[in-house]
Amino acid sequence: MSLTLRTISREQHLAYIQSLPAASHMQVPAWADVKSEWRSENLGWFDATGQLVGAGLVLYRQLPKIKRYLAYLPEGPVINWYAPNLEDWLRPMLAHLKQQGAFSVKMGPPVIIRRWDSAAIKSGIQSPDVKRLRDVEATFIEPRAFEVAERLRRMGWQQGEDGGAGFGDVQPRYVFQVPLENRSLEDVHKGFNQLWRRNIKKAEKAGVEVVQGGYEHLAEWQRLYEITAERDHFRPRPLSYFQRMWTALNTEDPNRMRLYFAMHENEAVAAATMLIVGGHVWYSYGASANHKREVRPSNAMQWRMLRDAYALGATVYDLRGISDSLDETDHLFGLIQFKVGTGGQAAEYLGEWDFPLNKLLHKALDIYMSRR
């Protein structure tokens, strides 16, 4: 199969994404507007008949002082990763990016290698010998994913230095997902653990109400998000980032991004953003106040978002990143514990891969990044 690659318009790119069951929210054309500090390009793969059969959003970040770029395709490109001729897809991409002045290419194949169901994770947490998710026997393994990794290695692609622990990756390697396909809502609710079901009831009894907000409520979101950042010791993104995200994504598709608030006695005590691309729905950012935690606003909000995702016909509700640590003393353990309660599955992606087009500059960037 002969493939050609060329720059395509945003309209072509969007039409292609809309023809698919789902794709990453970082591969829709509007994501380029969210990441406005990067230069962007929309790539299209065409088959012999001239039909568009793949697409990719490339973000270019310029190196300090020289006109060379890191080319990054977050959770992409959107191609047939299981194609036996994967080289025929990726070679023209590398040639094109080199022409564009890229010295290194980073991509995140949207390929899942393993899944662990909640029962497997729970047994892992209870076992004293198990410290990491990958020490637990997977519930499901995708053998074709190992072939993809093998093909990439043979082509000269490299995986992060950390041997795939996921810390060298920009996007999370391990995520937590609640599958919705061929399940009733009742079945999803039954899948929750007792604590989750109890907390949802508790929130209902306490009169917690979950409502959707709009652009004008982003300042209120930001207030809760900054409280959360201080409590959990991370650097918050500015309000302007979320305003840009809302405008860019909802201009492209009016139902791309949603904002939720859990209200108690007319006060917003928790909030979350939700992203939608086809049948894939993400819980993207979350925030909560330091008080009124006893009325369980976060559980109520997740249950409402899950129900809304289900009503949209979503096949998966994605709670995004988790650490692969199952050690109760780890500061990130609470995150996986909260998400496991939904009865979903942990999934491990193939991780991010680099192709150094200029080995010297690639090495220099590595050193530069490690000192930051």
Model confidence at 366, pLDDT cuts 50, 70, 90, reads confident
Backbone φ, ψ for residue 280 (5° rounding): -105, 120
For residues 167 and 214, which has the higher predicted lDDT (pLDDT)?
Answer: 214
Share of the chain above pLDDT 90, in %: 86
In three-state secondary structure terms, 307 is helix
Plot region of 75 (φ>0 → left; ψ -120 to 50 → alpha; else → beta):
left
DSSP E strand boundaries for the chain:
4-7, 39-46, 52-62, 69-73, 102-107, 112-117, 140-141, 158-159, 174-179, 209-213, 257-264, 267-277, 280-288, 316-321, 345-349, 353-356
Backbone φ, ψ for residue 21 (5° rounding): -65, -35
What is the DSSP pairing of strand 267-277 with strand 52-62? unpaired
Q: How confident is the model at residue 334, as a pLDDT?
A: 87
* Length of the chain counted residue by residue: 372
For residues 82 and 165, which has the higher predicted lDDT (pLDDT)?
Answer: 82
- Cα–Cα nearest to 55, from 65, 40, 70: 40
Average pLDDT, the chain: 94
CA distance 160 to 248: 31
Q: Vertex 169, ends 233 and 154: CA angle to 5°? A: 170
Q: For residue range 169-226, what is the model confidence (pLDDT) as tens digits? A: 588 999 999 999 999 999 999 999 999 999 999 999 999 999 999 999 999 999 999 9
Kindly state the average pLDDT of the residues 142-154: 96
Complete DSSP assignment for 245-305: HHHHHHHH-TTSEEEEEEEETTEEEEEEEEEEEBTEEEEEEEEE-SS-GGG-HHHHHHHHH
Amino acid at 143: P
CA distance 203 to 354: 46
Q: How confident is the model at residue 364, as a pLDDT?
A: 75
